Amino acid sequence: MTSVPGSIAQPSRPLTRSDYKTLSLSALGGALEFYDFIIFVFFATVVGQLFFPADMPDWLRMMQTFGIFAAGYLARPLGGIVMAHFGDLLGRKKMFTLSIFMMAVPTLIMGLLPTYAQIGVMAPFLLLLMRVIQGAAIGGEVPGAWVFVSEHVPARNTGYACGTLTAGLTAGILLGSLVATLINTVYTTEEVADYAWRIPFLLGGVFGLFAVYLRRWLHETPVFAEMQARKALAEEVPLRAVLRDHRGAIVLSMLLTWLLSAGIVVVILMTPALLQSLYHITPLDSLKANSMAIVLLSLGCIGTGALADRIGAGRVFVVGSLMLLASSWTFYHTLPTHPEWMFPLYALTGLCVGIVGAVPYVMVKAFPPAVRFSGLSFSYNMAYAIFGGLTPMAVTALLKFSPMAPAYYVAVICAIGLLVGLYLLIKKR
């Protein structure tokens, strides 16, 4: 038997068919839910034109549109804390299923909402309300998914399970990008503004409801079931215990979330726009390169998670941070002089961002089972709300001084990853 924090044991055994089924359904649901959360940003321009007054200045319209998008991030901590609280007390599966239902329904409604021309100011208000519910849902989904899969598999496969789930989440971004590309290829600009923009949201709602159905076949985690049988659940509000007894784990988890959020936001979400605006690369080429980077990112997540099981997270973060630093610096530095290297270097950098697949491995092991969901959710969502929002502004501000701003910012998070890796190696001794 292999022990995990809190004296709850997970059997040391090979992965079974049931384990692979749990991982597959969890990763698929995570991909579909992340698609629902991210699809908004791919249609931000047309949504802004339809949900705000026609005579509003363009800059103000885009600011308000992205403000509604950002509201989803701001709602993450509250949703995550509430859902994690009940996840630690009532069960992982119930909250795991609820989170995707809370994502699917608002996405479906967004595809059916009347526009500003039809109902006036109520249109952006309803859009904002749906976005807030989406944010609360994603705040519970990601930490809940990591806890759910990690408690289902043998302890020696925790990294592989968490890395696979993270790969599913990144695949959701790729799915959103591909659907947006398809819609804009099949339909004209006028057709997209008229009705075709609704299709990705309606698809997302249907996908999400299908994922809710699929999650009916999942079972409660053995770790939670054992705690329930032994009456070893938290005797007080789980978050109170986390804040009192696990501050070190909170700091460690927040630093790792900064690494995760910055890697995804800068390299995957911001870079396509920077390729177009700074280096005049066509939207189609930047999108193709981005899609390739996301595919390699997904593979990297699985690989680093599996490596964390074998050689430890400390070594993964030390080596992975140095590789990400070298690849990202080379990628951004050579863009002005060797744009023909963009595809292979972007793909390599995406693969190295896969270091984020080892992040949940450390986080799920940092908290004991009785408060694991609450501890991980609080740390992850608070850090993501802060760094997920500040990262684009920090990179944009640095761009005023140098086009290498993305490389500088990634270098900072690589330094954090390196320090965390060294800390984990020293702690292991």
Most confident of 79-93, 204-218, 225-239, 245-259: 245-259
For residues 97 and 13, what is the distance between their CA atoms, to the nearest angstrom? 27
Residues 181-205: pLDDT tens digits?
A: 888 888 888 898 899 999 999 998 9
| 9, β-bridge pairs | 3
240 versus 409: which is more confidently predicted? 409
pLDDT of residue 253: 94
pLDDT of residue 24: 80
What the block records as the tokens of 372 is 């694991």
In a domain, 6, yes or no: no
Looking at the fold, whether 114 and 247 belong to one and the same domain comes out as no
Q: What are the DSSP calls for 342-354, one per residue?
A: HHHHHHHHHHHHG
In a domain, 225, yes or no: no
Asked whether the predicted pLDDT for residue 271 surpasses 80, the reply is yes
Looking at the fold, whether 193 and 262 belong to one and the same domain comes out as no
The number of domains in the chain is: 2
Q: Cβ distance 215 to 74 under 8 Å?
A: no
Looking at the fold, whether 258 and 183 belong to one and the same domain comes out as no
Looking at the fold, whether 66 and 155 belong to one and the same domain comes out as yes
Picking from 8, 227, 27, 40, the residue whose alpha carbon sits closest to that of residue 132 is 40
| Lowest-pLDDT choice from 230-234, 365-369, 388-392 | 230-234
Decide the pairing of beta strands 8-10 and 2-4: antiparallel
In a domain, 37, yes or no: yes
pLDDT of residue 369: 82
pLDDT of residue 420: 96
Q: Name the pLDDT band for 237 (thresholds 50, 70, 90).
A: low
Residues 146-155: pLDDT tens digits?
A: 888 887 788 8
In a domain, 388, yes or no: yes
Q: Name the pLDDT band for 235 (thresholds 50, 70, 90).
A: low
For residues 131 and 126, what is the distance between their CA atoms, to the nearest angstrom? 9
For residues 66 and 63, what is the distance between their CA atoms, to the nearest angstrom? 5
Looking at the fold, whether 309 and 262 belong to one and the same domain comes out as yes
For residues 274 and 331, what is the distance between their CA atoms, to the nearest angstrom? 13
pLDDT of residue 87: 65
- For the segment 99-118, the average pLDDT, to the nearest whole number, is 89
In a domain, 221, yes or no: no
Mean residue pLDDT of the chain comes to: 83
Looking at the fold, whether 194 and 281 belong to one and the same domain comes out as no
- For the segment 299-311, the average pLDDT, to the nearest whole number, is 95
Taking the whole predicted model, whether its pTM rises above 0.85 is answered as no
Looking at the fold, whether 347 and 269 belong to one and the same domain comes out as yes
Looking at the fold, whether 126 and 252 belong to one and the same domain comes out as no
5 versus 159: which is more confidently predicted? 159
The amino acid occupying position 337 is T
Looking at the fold, whether 103 and 248 belong to one and the same domain comes out as no
In a domain, 8, yes or no: no
pLDDT of residue 269: 81
Picking from 70, 205, 180, 77, the residue whose alpha carbon sits closest to that of residue 138 is 77
In a domain, 281, yes or no: yes
What the block records as the tokens of 311 is 């050689």
pLDDT of residue 236: 57
What the block records as the tokens of 192 is 């997209």
21 versus 415: which is more confidently predicted? 415
Most confident of 63-67, 351-355, 387-391: 351-355
- For the segment 253-267, the average pLDDT, to the nearest whole number, is 92
- Output the domain CATH number for residue 254: 1.20.1250.20
Looking at the fold, whether 173 and 280 belong to one and the same domain comes out as no
In a domain, 47, yes or no: yes
- For the segment 79-84, the average pLDDT, to the nearest whole number, is 74
Q: Name the pLDDT band for 425 (thresholds 50, 70, 90).
A: very high
Task: Give the whole-number percent of the chain exceeding pLDDT 70.
Answer: 88
Give residue 92's domain range: 16-216
Looking at the fold, whether 212 and 253 belong to one and the same domain comes out as no
Looking at the fold, whether 100 and 155 belong to one and the same domain comes out as yes
For residues 106 and 269, what is the distance between their CA atoms, to the nearest angstrom? 23
